[in-house]
Structure 1
Amino acid sequence: MIRRAVLVAVLMAGQALAQGQGETAEAAAAAAARLEAASVMLQEADRGSDRISALTETVQAYEDGLVALRDGLRRAAIRQRAIETELDARSEEVAELLGVLQTMGRAPAPLLLLHPSGPLGTARSGMMVSEVTPALQVRVDELKADLEEVSQLRALQDSAADTLRRGLDGAQEARAQLSQAISERTDLPQRFTEDPVRTALLIASTETLSAFASGLADVVDQDLGGVAPDATALKGGLGLPVQGTVLRRFNQADAAGIVRPGLVIAARPRSLVTSPAAATVRFRGPLLDYGNVIILEPAPDVLLVVAGLAEVFGEAGQVLPQGAPIGLMGGEQPGVDAILTESAAGVGGGRSETLYLEVREGQSAVDPATWFALE
């Protein structure tokens, strides 16, 4: 009876372990397919009528694919450890199971049904064997599936290095081509030209972002007219300018007690930053302690301040379409070995860079949640 109880416990434990089998491998395979699709997009970017738009989509496709692949590898490592831990924890029970199977396999079938207590015991023995045997086969199948899944997960992680390397190289090439294409761009509408002397004087004479934003109207050298973008209808539904996670919200203090009237967004190194809406570039360049800054005007008397960029695209006075690239995050893209090490440890990696986003209406900063769909 004790052996039967052990067998039942082993059989019951296998049910939860089998759930979700294969999902992690499928997710990682899908991510690899997305990277391959991004590679095709990069090859075809030169053929499109709007090369910058095509390259922007290509960079974003690479970023999505790399994020998905890293997540798939992380989940694969976690799943593998969960299976191995469960098998280790039940090693004695698995040994009992194997012992029973070996005994049943060696003994002739009639002997398995004989019982020293006579016909009644023999009948009971037969009932127990008929009850346990199908369950044993189910558990054997589950163990086999678990071991096969572990093997598949190990093979997936072993083969991921080449996929990662191609993805990282492709993303780097796409970013370089995008930067080059933007530097050669001449097709954007121009609402005004900037007076560089007035801009330099404004930067030198202001100590706060609020004061600088208030003086932006004075740096215009020549007003070229044109229709100003108006994203008011999109208020409350804009997407964040970078793929990342909001670390701190409006007026939320950081660990040092510093409060800023904007969002702090964690992003991966070299992530592409895009314009959340069609907007006029009011300023771009280093500013105060914010690093590289680009200030966009998506609607009359509304400014979006995006700070913390390593590279900034666009020129003051240009009108950018929604989704246009406005810069790249800084930092160093982790190598293949670093990514695989992080994934094997089961940790999400990578969001080491921070982007600051502030929204100003008139002379005041407002909660970005009134313009952006943060949830």
Structure 2
Amino acid sequence: MIKFPAVDALKGALIVLVIVGHVAEVVHYDNILFWIGAGFRMPLMFGISGFLLNLERIRQSPLVDIAKQYWKRMILAWLVASCAYAMAVAASLSWATPLDMILRPDFHLWYVPVLAAMILMARTAPPWPLGVAVLSAPIGIGLFYANPFGHGLVGEGVFAWDGRFLAYPLFFFFGGAVARARPTATLHSISGLVAGCGLLGWCFLYQSDNELLKLLTYLAMDLGLIALLPLLARLPIRISPLNAIGQASLFYYLWHPMVIALAIAHGASPLLTLVLTLTALCVMHRLLTNAPLPAQVFGVPQRYSAATKYSPSGGALSPSLDRSAASSASPISATLHRFMPTSARQPTIERT
């Protein structure tokens, strides 16, 4: 599969929006613009991951080869980040810590386990992404109705898992179906209309209590945007800073909360925190690019030509935490705790 510069730029823009949104979340700044961004950032990231996935290669390659490939591309970096965040918040370790890290990751660390699970699903499920998307839709829609962003745990006890394992396959496999479809100008027009109507509805429902309408506009906006990816992929768009971030999206995604926490712990304002975070990550990215081993550990891809073949990792995860220690923790630890959704702090949340 050939690299799509416009899709890389979109991934970079989404990562920047994630960072902006997390800064606003940590300082409790509420605004309709952040509501809008929260509505499409992660669904579109999963849609892009499905769109870029080389399904034929995933299905034909031995499982051991796939495991080695993704270990180098994202799992090692996620594991290092998970340990780093656990140490930053003085996590208490137990025999259940590995299960916590995989099934109930805190902060933003849920993305990699969920994406890895979807890649395994793509390998074992029938080779019809649209069919898998349709089959997964009822569960995903039900979870999104219970919580607009899919937070919360499914089940009880030590084997309870993050609801996003079941909520986001809809977008991932729809992206895969879109990549294999034969889009026409008419379909693109319909997709744009659906996405636009969904976006307007999502804006209108800011601070509304109508959960059903929120769900409908959420789905229309995100599925409509994902359906436009083939059109975007053909555009000769290259925005160098965003393309660079998009190509190393996992690195920026994994490490931005740590930089945000450090900046806020030292008294930086929200705007300065945002500037420092982006600047520090860009500098680290630049330094790590030509250092193979550290780059792999931190999730930075090695340099490659724009014309090279691309086997995407999906772009861009948490031990048992001592919640009672949050109030007496360091400023960095206290800031990192703010990234955790309220529902994720509950030991068990049963979904029916």
TM-score range with shorter-chain normalisation? under 0.3
Considering Cα pairs closer than 8 Å and 6+ residues apart, tell me whether 1 or 2 has the greater RCO.
2
- Larger of the two Rg values belongs to structure: 1
User: How high is the TM-score relative to the length of structure 2?
Assistant: 0.22
Query: Which protein has the bigger strand share?
Result: 1
TM-score (norm 1): 0.21
